[in-house]
Amino acid sequence: NTFFAKNCDEPFEVEFDYAPYQAAKTSGPPEDCYEAEGGEAEIADINSESGNSLLDQLHPKVIEELKDKAESWARNLQSRGELHD
């Protein structure tokens, strides 16, 4: 999956993998119950408009913020049924 950050000094592309969220099941027989899982993104690469990788040049806090944005973006798409592998 990919999203583009355009409202910054230099636009860039964020490539990430996303494990779809599955809600917990907490009712019914205990053997049929399970905890929530998924909903996490893993940043695969961050590329400048010219195609250069920026992943090793960004501060870890920035990468964490982009990971959070990727997770939010993907959850939104998943909730609308628009998330595709």
pTM of the model: 0.72
Q: Identify whether the C-beta of residue 38 lies closer than 8 Å to the C-beta of residue 71.
A: no
pLDDT of residue 85: 56
pLDDT tens for 16-59 read 999 888 889 999 999 999 998 988 999 999 998 888 999 998 88
φ, ψ of residue 26 to 5 degrees: the values are -120, 10
Cα separation of 81 and 83, whole Å? 6
**Residue 84 confidence (pLDDT) above 70:** no
